[in-house]
Structure 1
């Protein structure tokens, strides 16, 4: 269904697929495949990061005959074996990004899980105990991975996908006390240096559907529970449209 002038991406995160989810997502993915040219999965694909959950998810994705790109979320790390989740998805044809870039229908996509740490003046700094420095360093490393992925893109149109939010605007609605655990503005810095058409993320189930970076890039919170609650008249995925790549000059 690729049109001449637009490429359509269906974006959703926080599927939290369990061992008992068989049969509950297949129609949802089929609807996404009908509405879009590619599917973007923004982390927390499984509930506990178990191989059995990843296998169920792969079965459910079987009805989506379009390219699928994913990043992992914190839930996918819960059982300390995210590589197994990644391998199961990759073997099924899903492109799982962790600081890499991929091109889909001529649109460049950079993906990373991201991390926590807070926003703006409230961001945690690398000072004091070693544990604090390690925590902040994790956020810095995720931001560097995102920057590296964005720097690799050579396409006219680009999308960044994460699990954690790079801005505070799309976590508004969550309890203020947990804002620092929903993302960090360290992830916004690469997006200012390497602008994209749109950013998609999940994680903040009670956040706000959209916001903008400091340089005006639209950011969409595509956590499935949020989309279900906000857009009750349609399936809970967000359609992101970008202009189709220009034909090369002859």
Structure 2
């Protein structure tokens, strides 16, 4: 799993991660991409990443991030990735047969908005309400997705924004409100998946939890350019250089 790749022409990070992603695709049963896959949200940039993922022999599951909406809209990025055989989850879920197990993934971009004691300052009430509405819609989509995969042997929630402040530690507290929302935690508490995977917090912490559920921040920055390898349901961790 990884995220915040920000793929674009001549990207040092994309070049450095190229072989690591290919190695991960050979070693893993699934590859998870946790959003901000492109720098400016263009189909061209999505094609760069899709070209790497086309070399994988395993399913690739992705959610989009805020950067993926920037220029051409999320539809352009999602379309380019889907054309390459990548599954893009946008508030929905998928079930896969992996090693004799039914693996379910519920995916959504998620949203920012803040946490108890950590709010976004200096915005209008109208803007605050709009942010809250989007976070509530994303949380509801995550709930529906997790409910749909309730019968799976392994259940994973995949998103871009963080559902907990645990994995934001290392980031300036003043920007935590822009990095995730506490509303995303409610469906996690209710459905208790085996793992939550997100990105977006470049200077955050790798691991946190919501109750007994492990939460992993797999931002490429947090992983120092590596790709995280999670073994579920035991949730062992290693890295691919």
Partner of residue 90 from structure 1, selected from 82, 85, 101:
82
Instruction: Tell me the C-alpha RMSD between the 2 structures.
Output: 2.0
Shift of 1:123: 4.7
Alpha-carbon contact 1:174-1:206 (below 8 Å) kept: yes
1:236 aligns with 226
After superposition, where does 1:105-184 map in structure 2 within 5 Å?
105=98, 106-123=102-119, 129-153=125-149, 154-184=151-181
The TM-score normalised by the length of structure 2 is: 0.88
Partner of residue 50 from structure 2, selected from 58, 61, 66:
58
Query: Secondary structure of the residue that 1:88 maps to in structure 2?
Result: helix
2:37 aligns with 45
Gaps of 5+ in 2: 235-241
Alpha-carbon contact 2:118-2:176 (below 8 Å) kept: no
Shift of 1:77: 0.8
1:72 maps onto 2:69 in alignment: no
1:3 aligns with none
Partner of residue 203 from structure 1, selected from 200, 205, 213:
200
Shift of 1:80: 4.7
Mapped partners of 1:143, 1:110: distance in 2: 11
Mapped partners of 2:193, 2:127: distance in 1: 33
Query: Secondary structure of the residue that 2:114 maps to in structure 1?
Result: coil
Partner of residue 33 from structure 1, selected from 25, 47, 50:
25
After superposition, where does 1:209-220 map in structure 2 within 5 Å?
209-213=206-210, 215-220=211-216
Higher Cα Rg, which structure:
1
Mapped partners of 1:186, 1:47: distance in 2: 27
Query: Secondary structure of the residue that 1:227 maps to in structure 2?
Result: coil
The TM-score normalised by the length of structure 1 is: 0.85
How many matched pairs?
226
Shift of 1:61: 1.6
Mapped partners of 2:133, 2:177: distance in 1: 15
